[in-house]
Amino acid sequence: MSSLLEVSVGLSRAPYKVLIGAGAVSSCGELISRVLKPSRCVVVTDSNVAPLYADVVEISLTHAGFQPVRVTVPAGESSKSLTQLGVICDAMIEAGLDRSSLLVALGGGVVGDLAGFAAAVYYRSIPYIQIPTTIVSQVDSSVGGKTGVNAAGGKNLIGSFHQPRLVIADTDTLRSLPEREFNEGFAEVIKHAAIRDPSMLDALDDLPALIARNVAIKAAIVAEDEFETKGLRALLNFGHTIGHGIEAAAGYGKLLHGEAISLGLLAACRLSVEKSGLPEEDAARISSALGFFKLPLRLDATIETDAIFSALKKDKKFTAGGIRFVLLRKLGDAFVSDAVTEVDIRGAIESLR
């Protein structure tokens, strides 16, 4: 445990740490007991992750004095729903968990968002721990306290801000990811490089250090704008407005989140070249990095522009009918623009074909 990297999320109300390194899952009970008193707890995981890590987590929790029960949801984006939220809450009620209990989210972004939301609403909020097991969740979704589920009308429309008390990112868990799931996480890494630290584009091989650098970028932004009221946190949405629209229009599950975001990043770069003077060579660096991880660079012809536009108009980043779009002046220099029109966005989508 002494070799774990540590990044602090310096929120004024409830700061917490992100611990990063190999083998952390087997010590999670002791790590959690340093920030929370042992209690009854629920481990929320999914059908892919449970056979790999749930036993190890529960043994470690038990050794540290916690009393864990397990809830396993089906793997995949479809579990990020009010139905599965109800399943988790019902299971916690049946197990006798109360306000003094703890929730542990063990899995990727879907589990983290869903379980975090369950923690936010159960007994009007109980503490929770994130143990992310994918690259996208370790570098992005496990940090910042955005929790929620999808609605029929759009992604992440039902949720709340509820910060974890600790994040434990075990890089060994990434070894179990299939290549496609491993690669998709690098869309978020490349996004962070684009908005804050382009030097990361040349240092994509040292995973623990790379994850720590990404977490530090997100932590700094979240600490300055926890509830997304100042506009700064919106920078983290670079590539996500169009990306979420593509993900929804394709049908959840056809494209992985990072694959849709890859296309969104390319579209956002195209708009940045046109609207804010992003050098073409900077846009090409982003495209090259995405291609290195075999992420999509072309939009499937069967995904219609009208369907994408219909989905993205329900996005939370469309405020009072207006469009707040994140652009780049150059790599590392992002800003929120209100100069992007619907015509511009349609053109950027078509440029992906």
Q: Which residues are catalytic?
A: 124, 146, 188, 218, 228, 233, 237, 240, 244, 257
Q: How far apart are CA 196 and CA 221, in angstroms?
A: 10
Residue 227 Cα distances to 9, 162, 208, angstroms: 14, 10, 28
Identify the CA nearest to 104 among candidates 81, 75, 70, 155. 70
DSSP-derived 3-state class of residue 224: helix
The CA R_g of the chain, rounded to the nearest whole Å, is: 20
Question: Read out DSSP for 138-187?
Answer: IIIITSS-EEEEEETTEEEEEEEE---SEEEEEGGGGGGS-HHHHHHTHH
Residue of 6, 4, 15 whose CA lies nearest to 222: 15
Which H/E stretch holds residue 71? strand 67-73
The DSSP bridge pattern shows strands 166-170 and 16-21 to be parallel
